[in-house]
Amino acid sequence: MSSSTDSLPPALAKIVQRFQRASDPKRRYEQLIWYAQKLPAFPEADKVAENKVPGCVSQVYVTATLDDGKVKYQGDSDSQLTKGLVALLIEGLNGLSPTEIVQLAPDFIQATGLNVSLTPSRANGFYNIFKTMQKKALECKLEQ
């Protein structure tokens, strides 16, 4: 395990390592598409304003529920690459406590190498998705 993944939750560390093995941008994009295709269907009824991620060019939706003290996310996007980013975050953050999620820094994106592959608007979208997921985790915690 490389030092950049030591402080990450296990699922997120695994994802970062997977992207680190994909050396060129094309492979990283293929990896994102793969994540997008694995994402479970998002309920149409949840595509409402309060679940929409602000500041994204694409339509992105995220929901969070608390199950036994652990956050469970669902998400979707109308763009395959953005959907891949949502899927990557969901896989990496599902099952963590709200506190663990809120304390995470989004700089793990640098470790994946995706930050150099993404356009500035997609990189900004990634950050907005991550921040929205943190906000929803905090809301889950406050509703306990």
Q: Is 56 a catalytic residue?
A: yes
Which residue range is the domain that position 44 belongs to? 3-143
The alpha carbon of residue 33 and the mean position of all alpha carbons in its chain are separated, in whole angstroms, by: 13
- Kindly name the residue from 8, 13, 56, 89 that is annotated as catalytic: 56
Q: What is the pLDDT of residues 87-133, one digit of tens each?
A: 999 999 999 999 999 999 988 988 898 888 888 888 888 999 999 99
CATH number, residue 65? 3.90.1010.10
Please report which confidence band the pLDDT of residue 1 belongs to, taking 50, 70 and 90 as the band edges. Answer: very low
pTM above 0.95, yes or no: no
For the cut 70, the answer to whether the pLDDT of residue 26 exceeds it is yes
Do the beta carbons of residue 50 and residue 136 sit within 8 Å?
A: no
Render 92-110 in DSSP notation, one character per residue: HHTT--HHHHHH--TTHHH
Q: What is the pLDDT of residues 30-75, one digit of tens each?
A: 999 999 999 999 999 999 999 999 988 899 999 999 999 999 999 9
Q: What is the domain count for the chain?
A: 1
